């Protein structure tokens, strides 16, 4: 897998289910693609995860999205600053560029999540 790329949906879901089974979940930065959202819905059943999705129209009020909106220049600056003290390979310039490109291409995911339930956008 390329550094900065999205973790395959099946792998990510398997990790989530194994670690959080029987718990209430707070997913930070997930899902990052429609594929991840769709795979999550296919593999996780109620009551492990209660969610609403524009893909399958499940009705449940406990699923919501908090979207942190920030200009790309600020994101790049923050990641480059973090890279000074971390050894994370996904904080390198090429990985940051790839991550931002992937994010820009997921407007459909954000639109879907806006229709799925509570959606709050918070600016930097």
Q: Where are the beta strands (DSSP E) in 1-124?
A: 65-69, 119-123
Residue 57: the pLDDT is 39
What residue segments make up the domains of the chain, in order of their start? 9-123
- Predicted local confidence at residue 44, as pLDDT: 65
Q: For residue 85, name the pLDDT band (cuts at 50, 70, 90).
A: very high
For the residues 92-105, what does the mean pLDDT come to?
87
pLDDT at res. 73: 94
74 pLDDT band, cuts 50/70/90, is very high
Write out the two tokens for 50: 């209660």
pLDDT tens-digit readout, 15-51 = 877 777 766 677 777 788 888 888 877 776 544 344 4
Answer whether CATH 3.30.230.10 is correct for domain 9-123.
no
């Amino acid at each position: 897998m390329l550094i900065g790329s999205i973790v395959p949906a099946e792998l990510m879901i398997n990790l989530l289910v194994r670690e959080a089974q029987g718990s209430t979940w707070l997913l930070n930065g997930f899902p990052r693609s429609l594929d991840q959202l769709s795979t999550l819905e296919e593999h996780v059943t109620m009551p492990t995860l209660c969610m609403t999705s524009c893909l399958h129209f499940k009705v449940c009020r406990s699923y919501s999205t908090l979207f942190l909106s920030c200009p790309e220049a600020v994101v790049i600056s923050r990641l480059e600053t973090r890279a000074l003290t971390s050894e994370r390979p996904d904080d390198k310039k090429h990985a940051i560029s790839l991550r931002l490109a992937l994010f820009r291409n997921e407007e459909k995911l954000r639109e879907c999540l806006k229709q799925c339930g509570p959606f709050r956008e918070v600016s930097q």
